Amino acid sequence: MFGSTTSVGNWCTRVAPSLFSPFYLPNLNPNPLCLLSTLITPNPTTLSLPLTARRFSFSPVSPMDDEHQATEQEYAFHSDLLHQFTAIPSVDKAWLFNSHTGLASQAMFCVSQPNLLTNKRKKSIVSASLLRQSDATVAFHWAPFPIELTGVSAMVPSPSASKLLIVRNPESEGPCRFEIWSSSQLEKEFHVPQSKHGSVYIDGWFEGISWNLNETCIAYVAEEPAPAKPTFNDLGGYQKGSSSDKDGGTWKAQGEWEEEWGETYAGKRQPALFVIDITSGEVQAVKGIDKSLSVGQVVWAPAVEGSVQYLVFVGWSFETRKLGIKYCYNRPCALYAVKAPYHESKANETETDSTEDVQAVNLTQTISSAFFPRFSPDGKFLVFVSARSSVDSGAHSATDSLHRIDWPKDMKLYQSSKIHEVIPVVLFAEDGSFPGLYCSNILSDPWLSDGHTLVIASVWHSNQVLLSINVLSGEILRITPANSNFSWSLLTLDGNNILAVSSSPVDVPQIKYGAIVKNTTNDKEWSWSDVSNPILKCSDKVRSSISSLTSSIMKISVKDASESLTKGASQPYEAIFVSSQTKKSDACDPLIVVLHGGPHSVLLSRFSRPLAYLSSVGYSLLIVNYRGSIGFGEEALQSLPGKVGSQDVNDVLTAIDHVIDLGLASPSKIAVLGGSHGGFLTTHLIGQAPEKFVAAAARNPVCNLALMVGTTDIPDWCYVETYGTKGRDKFTEAPSAADLTLFYSKSPISHLSKAKTPTLFLLGAQDLRVPISTGLQYARALREKGVPTKVIVFPNDVHGIERPQSDFESYLNIAIWFNKYCK
């Protein structure tokens, strides 16, 4: 249901040295990088290949299949070119380690790229030294080769950068491995058995791994131990006590089924909070947390000498059912504080603590949502993001707000702590002004040197920008260039400087270094420079293919806006148009209309490897951010619930007519592509406007809400998007006949009788969000009508269809399918 900010089939986050001296770094501040080549590869002599990997033959579909009748040459050309696009690496994370002199720093970049042979993403570390020049510029000196990360689940440097935690989750029922590395060696290694806890969460949402300030303990979130299951002997007799699965003559029953958090969390147990003492290796479960809470995003509260240390975490509760939580910001949550277990001196533990004293304290009872807790460097206040507009309306994602709690010096925590609003929910923004906060992550250390200004990435219309926010005054500054088609991702801070990645639909990602400069009025401005690097390289063929492309962001006026619409819902929405600058004739290239999921998501004006590939093989793209997308203010977003299948469909048709009227597209050569809710729109469009489209492709589409509501992990979504905000209170696990009738009427399948567009379906068999049954039902019904239909099912993929081979096969088939009907 939720589309990607980078490709149409995935979810959005609101949007993937020399041989003997692999880290050529000057002798700077001691840190744990020196032995990184050893700690991240089981065999220290095994190095990864350079990032420009060798090409290989990959033919996921028989090139002689009568269904598509594509030639071997066509498949060979497209598979080779698509592989070159998908091989472009991504920078996932970065860390900077400063020296004592302040003249140089060391950097680590975590880089990933798909490996089609193993069907996994291959990860590596690329390192560099940063030298500050006399003219205030910075020079990057890169290690000659990357080092492959093998078996590493998480890497977390300590606050002083003198230690590095490596977490290795087991692939089966083995123990979790915790490794503590110094600048010269592996100092400690601890194996935590499954009886203590399961895998450490590294999902980006519940995930939380935090060092305490004196670097003696680490708090983290992991799966709680598996509950004991009934055991029987070979005669069916009940076996008392526990036994392992390997014990001969016994077998374990399933036991009671437990609720899970839906899509991508199948088989994952409840997230719980633990602390490990890195001196002794002792692991303790944190006490005082109600069993009904799923915990995540833990951080240590500021330490006060002689006082108990506290942990602050996010807690999600549920009543009778855990509804899907992946990218569903409408799940109520709160910040809690709880006493950390004693490790340093057990003799000082008091035996008189009452149950009330150890119970976790809810710090945000007056607000329905609180997450991403971050303490200021001086420990005087705690900042957090809230999705209260999402929780209160029922929309899966909406406009965020930012808040601050002043942290008590006496460490006396109160549930009635005053919450200061730093950034409110923005309902409507005039042209050019701040449209509201849309935040999918915050750095673990997001602060500039003044200690009260944080840097954050946020969606601003069809771009992602970087903002500086003064959490005391509420001042917001857009620190990346305005009036640009580029989007920005934040990597890390270097004092008052920033490392980021910038790209556009036709420009491959580029690492940027930002520095504060003073302008003529003595105000602060940011200067951005390109960082020459060996990471984000592409082949000559890719560079040549995209060199002739151009992109722009179009404003699309709302058609037939009624007086009943709010001001925000009446304002223009946007579409990103990508096309060739060099026309070989007066004829327009075929147009692919690209639609994001959600619907409260966005497709950003940034580089998408599969979409760039489609552009490079002779298609123009119209990427529509219809009303209801994030990044345009709360009124525009909330105009869509209750009107899905009509308002969003009309917005897309209006955008198509706009480019046709400008002479940028031919009305006879239009295809449509969408995933999840984008697939909902794709199948709606071919039914409501059957003469408009010559081909369609849908990835895990929502085709029948009446069927989906009983099988999805987010049935409340069906109610809210169908009924509007009142659907939040109407939601029930037992839909009425009236509910089902309305769901059907809002669904693409209700327009099936008019559909005649050849359609490709790409379905993940393990999808819990939009189960495969709804897409298969629609595809079979199209076939029954005699409409050309092709279905590819990926047996092991979930909603996103993100596994490398599946993603590759998807877009290869999309290109071949569109070529068959558009060219």
Catalytic residue IDs: 676, 767, 799
* DSSP strands (E only) in 145-258: 147-149, 154-157, 164-168, 176-181, 186-192, 209-211, 217-223, 231-233, 238-239, 250-252
Please say whether the dihedral angle defined by the alpha carbons of residues 639, 642, 648 and 650, taken in this order, is positive or negative: negative
The pair of structure tokens assigned to 496 is: 């008052």
Q: Chain centroid to CA 495: how far?
A: 26
CA distance 499 to 478: 16
Cα 188–Cα 189–Cα 195 angle in degrees, nearest 5: 135
For residue 406, give the 3-state DSSP assignment: strand
CA distance 283 to 178: 11
CA distance 685 to 649: 7
CA distance 217 to 343: 8
How large is the angle between the packed helices 72-86 and 540-547, nearest 10 degrees? 90
CA distance 637 to 633: 7
Residue 392 neighbours by CB under 8 Å, 6+ apart: 368
The pair of structure tokens assigned to 242 is: 């526990």
- DSSP H or E segment with residue 725: none
How, if at all, do strands 695-699 and 759-764 pair? parallel
Long-range contacts from 63-67, C-beta under 8 angstroms, 24+ separation: 67/790
Residue 74 neighbours by CB under 8 Å, 6+ apart: 63, 816, 819
The pair of structure tokens assigned to 812 is: 């290869």
Strand partners, 333: 316
